Amino acid sequence: MSGLALVWNLMFGAWCFAARPPNILLILSDDQGYADLGCQGSKDILTPHIDSLAKHGVRFTNGYISSPVCSPSRAGLLAGRGGTRFGIELNPGFSHTVGLPPSERTMAEYLQAAGYKTGIFGKWHLGFPAKMRPTARGFDEFFGFLAGAHSYTQAAGDHDPANVILRGTEKVRSITYLTDDLGREAVAFIDKNRDEPWFVYLAFNAPHGPFEATEKYKARFPDLPDGRRTIAAMIAAMDDNVGAVLAKLREHKREDNTLIFFLSDNGAPRQGGSNQPFRGLKAQLLEGGIRIPFIAQWKGKLPAGKVDDRPVISLDILPTVLAAANLPIPEHLDGVNLLPYLTGEKANAPARALCWRYSPQRAIRVGDWKLLQTGKKTELFHLATDIGEKTNLAGKEPAKVKELEAAYQQWNARNRGGRAGQRKEDAAPVTVHGVDARSAEPPRGSGVTVHSPVEDFP
């Protein structure tokens, strides 16, 4: 080969490398508290690898999920539309017949159609029926489980024979420690597909119950009380495996061409996690239930070490991913493309209301104002001056209450079960799954907690 031809081939190869669409890495933790990361202020849980995403990317202090419980928040994340749009408002309990409707196109389906290799490693929680399983929803590979919780040490379905660890559609006979296994599988997928654009959805079930950790991880936290120690160990295991994935990106020199998101699916429940400085828990529309760790990294494209106070929501991730991949953004999506806001092209926050409905709770945030209604109780908070939602201003600001209520009703009219245009069969949002999640109880000894939609929190 002549010297000129060699130079041309090298230049062409470099151009192809640069022109390749970015990889997409979506990392989701499960029931992780807002304050349970080092970069979020934790003093007792060390998370150097996840913290590195904030160091080299953008950390959102006003990052939200679209629901305070697992299944609806995951549905919204992958579909880019709130679950109330298509009937996923509550967790499905122990039903095997419901899940993400095939009419809702997933992030994986968009990217798979564009030539991406796609893999999910972890918790699905969006349906048991064959037409709703990951390999029918755009994922080339699946290693994980279908329900809302699973043992970290046993591959069998704890108290549900159908909730086994699966590789594709085949049962996995044994596992080591599930968090480690999920990280290993994600690393292997990235390694195998290093020469093609890929989408990895690394859906950890940590630190969701059952609360199980190995001594390897517990040993790092000898001075913590047992409950907190186990949560810390579960998060440390997750962080180690995030580190293994990031190391593989660096090995393949693909870190600069990978858009990474890290967030939690909702706030922490009562057991061991910390939602400080917020009031509220998982299954509540107080800030502690819906404001979550939310980080984005794309080296060379997004600012490094930036703390962004503008409100964002998990529904923004799909349009942002599509924009990054140079794909069209469907008009029916609920979120916005965050790239122009993050690159500085747009300096202000997106002009919109953020809304939630988790029966019988409902909430709306516009700017710094938040209206929260639970049953007959109405509360108005000014979050910029009252981050802990301690002072109810509804009596002093009736005009603001009326304004936010009108904006909420306008949003809710487009939901299944919304007041305007409501269909008769959608009139009871508590049973949109055919299951009343407020009364569903898990099998004894399952280690699974079913949270009431409303819990008093002092």
Residues 277 and 369 in one domain: no
pLDDT band per the 50, 70, 90 thresholds, residue 292 = very high
Q: Is the pLDDT assigned to residue 438 strictly greater than 70?
A: no
Q: Give residue 309's domain range.
A: 21-343
| Total of domains in the chain | 2
Residues 6+ apart with CB under 8 A from 216: none
d(CA 221, CA 304): 30
How far from the centroid of its chain's Cα atoms is residue 141's Cα?
Answer: 19
The residue type found at 31 is: D
Domain-located, residue 419: no
Domain-located, residue 2: no
How does pLDDT run across 137-191, given as a tens digit for each residue? 999 999 999 999 999 999 998 778 899 999 999 999 999 999 999 999 999 999 9
Domain-located, residue 239: yes
How does pLDDT run across 299-358, given as a tens digit for each residue? 999 999 999 999 999 999 999 999 999 999 999 999 999 999 999 999 999 999 999 999
Mean pLDDT of 414-426: 55
Q: What is the CATH number of the domain that holds 366?
A: 3.30.1120.10
Of 334, 338, 324, 318, residue with least CA distance to 110 = 318
Q: Which of residues 412, 431, 446 is at a domain's end?
A: 412
Residues 130 and 214 in one domain: yes
Give 206: exposed, middle or buried? Use CB within 10 Å, 0-12, 13-18, 19+. Answer: buried
pLDDT band per the 50, 70, 90 thresholds, residue 417 = confident
Residues 299 and 372 in one domain: no
Residues designated as active site: 70, 125
Residues 202 and 292 in one domain: yes
**What angle in degrees, to the nearest 10, is found between the helix axes of 226-251 and 178-192?**
10
d(CA 319, CA 306): 21
243 membership: H or E segment, kind and range = helix 226-251
d(CA 50, CA 236): 10
Q: What is the CATH number of the domain that holds 311?
A: 3.40.720.10
Q: Is the pLDDT assigned to residue 22 strictly greater than 50?
A: yes
d(CA 114, CA 125): 25
pLDDT band per the 50, 70, 90 thresholds, residue 3 = low
Residues 255 and 373 in one domain: no
d(CA 10, CA 4): 10
Q: Which of residues 412, 429, 449 is at a domain's end?
A: 412
DSSP state of 250: H
DSSP for 110-159 reads HHHHTT-EEEEEEE--S-SSGGGSGGGTT-SEEEEESSS---SS--S-SS
Residues 325 and 359 in one domain: no
pLDDT band per the 50, 70, 90 thresholds, residue 435 = very low
Residues 272 and 382 in one domain: no
Mean pLDDT of 240-269: 97
Q: Which of residues 289, 321, 343 is at a domain's end?
A: 343
pLDDT band per the 50, 70, 90 thresholds, residue 19 = confident
Domain-located, residue 442: no
Within 13 Å of residue 453, how many CA atoms lie on the same side as its CB? 23
DSSP state of 38: G
Number of C-beta neighbours around residue 218 at 10 A? 18
- Both tokens of residue 457? 């929190």
Give me the percent of the chain exceeding a pLDDT of 70. 87
Domain-located, residue 11: no
Residues 339 and 361 in one domain: no
Mean pLDDT of 351-371: 96
Domain-located, residue 452: no
Domain-located, residue 429: no
pTM over 0.85: yes
Mean pLDDT of 101-127: 97
d(CA 225, CA 272): 9
- Both tokens of residue 379? 């509360």
Residues 314 and 405 in one domain: no
Q: Is the dihedral of CA 142, 147, 151, 156 positive or negative?
A: negative
Give yes or no for a contact between 389 and 280, defined as CB atoms under 8 angstroms apart.
Answer: yes
The residue type found at 324 is: A
269 membership: H or E segment, kind and range = none
- Both tokens of residue 42? 């934790």
Give the per-residue pLDDT at 161: 87
d(CA 357, CA 323): 28
Residues 239 and 381 in one domain: no
d(CA 291, CA 335): 16
Residues 375 and 330 in one domain: no
Higher pLDDT, 256 or 15: 256
Domain-located, residue 16: no
Residues 133 and 233 in one domain: yes
Helix (H, G, I), strand (E, B) or coil at 382: strand
DSSP for 151-189 reads -SS--S-SS-TT---EETTEEP---S-HHHHHHHHHHHH
